Amino acid sequence: MKKEITLKINGEEFTKEVEPRTLLVHFIREDIGMTGTHIGCDTSSCGACTILIDGKSAKSCTILAVQAAGKEITTVEGIATTEGAHPIQEGFKENHGLHCGFCTPGMMLRAIELLEKNPDPTEEEIRWGISGNLCRCTGYNNIVKSIKYAGAKLRGDELPSTEPEFVE
């Protein structure tokens, strides 16, 4: 039996009927039509489907749409403002934090919660913080740099160098 749910996605309210078995990621992509949230492994391993639910990072392939009733959801479509890119988006752009880009929305949303809890994380804390997000292109180094950059930007500190580091 279908259930009616009301929830906010990126500040906009939606009311829809869903089957209880509908996964939140399918609801966002197919019922709402926002395809920035990706489906990677579909087994809560890869983190490509990471979104924020009431500010907490969550794997939307392992949560039912009905569980999100009454919640506020943030997806990658909702992080930029009229003033421009979110600092995390700027970080990924300036530091080449992506190659194919498939993991990027999930990485960025996870990083937003990480930086909210820990505004100046060490490299180790960043690596543990994104341990639930897999990237098959970058080798993570530039993702770590991107998150460091976003942290500095959010704190209002001097921005770290975006020059690539060459290893002899």
Partner 1 sequence: MIPSTFDYTAPSSLDEALKLLHDFGDDAKILAGGHSLIPMMKLRFAEPEHLIDLNNIPGLSYLKIEGGMFKIGAMTREVETEESAEIAVHFPIFADVAKLIADPQVRNFGTLGGNLAHGDAANDQPAVMLALDASVEIAGLDGRRTVGIDDFFYGFYSTAVQEGEILTEILIPIPSGRSGNAYHKVERKVGDYATGGVAVHLEFDEQGICTKAGIGLTNVNPTPLRAVRSEAALVGTSLDDDAIASAAQYASEDCNPSSDLRGDIDYKRHIIKAVTKKMINKAKQRAFKN
- Residue ranges in contact with partner 1 by CB under 8 A: 1, 3, 19-23, 26, 42-45, 47, 50, 56-59, 62-64, 66-67, 69, 110, 113-114, 128-129, 131-133
User: Measured between alpha carbons, how far is 35 from 152 in angstroms, rounded to an integer?
Assistant: 29
Minimum CB distance to partner 1 smaller for 95 or for 133: 133
Q: How far is the CB of 19 from partner 1 (least distance, A)?
A: 7
Residue 142 backbone dihedrals phi, psi, to 5 degrees:
-75, -25
Q: How far is the CB of 9 from partner 1 (least distance, A)?
A: 18
Strand partners, 152: none
Q: Which of 19, 157 has the CB closer to partner 1?
A: 19
CB of 45 to partner 1, least distance (A): 6
Return the number of the residue (3 or 16) whose C-beta is nearest partner 1: 3
CB of 58 to partner 1, least distance (A): 6
Task: Specify the residue, 28 or 64, whose C-beta has the smaller distance to partner 1.
Answer: 64
Q: Which is nearer to partner 1, 34 or 111 (CB)?
A: 111
Return contacts of 89-96, CB within 8 angstroms, 24+ apart. 90/149, 90/150, 90/153, 91/145, 91/146, 91/147, 91/148, 91/149, 91/150, 91/153, 92/143, 92/146, 94/146, 94/149, 94/162, 95/142, 95/145, 95/146, 95/149, 95/162, 96/138, 96/142, 96/164
CB of 163 to partner 1, least distance (A): 30
